Amino acid sequence: MTQPTNAVLLAVDSEALALELDAAVRELGIADDVLLARTADDAFAALLAGGAHLAMISLAPSAARSRLEQTLQGMAVPILRFVPDASRTKSRAGLEPVNLPFSGETLRSALGRLGFATA
What is the DSSP-derived secondary structure letter of residue 53?
S
Alpha helices in 51-104 (DSSP H): 63-74
pLDDT (0 to 100) of residue 53: 87
pLDDT (0 to 100) of residue 80: 86
Which residues, in sequence order, are CB contacts of 23 under 8 Å at separation 6+? none
Residue 75 burial (CB count, 10 A): 12
Class of domain 7-113: alpha beta
pLDDT (0 to 100) of residue 107: 65
pTM of the model: 0.73
Contact by Cβ (8 Å): 28, 55: no
User: For the chain, what are the domain ranges?
Assistant: 7-113
pLDDT per residue of the chain (119 residues) written in tens, 0 to 9: 444 468 899 999 988 888 888 988 888 888 888 999 999 999 999 888 878 888 999 999 999 999 999 999 888 888 888 876 645 444 445 667 676 666 666 666 666 665 665 55
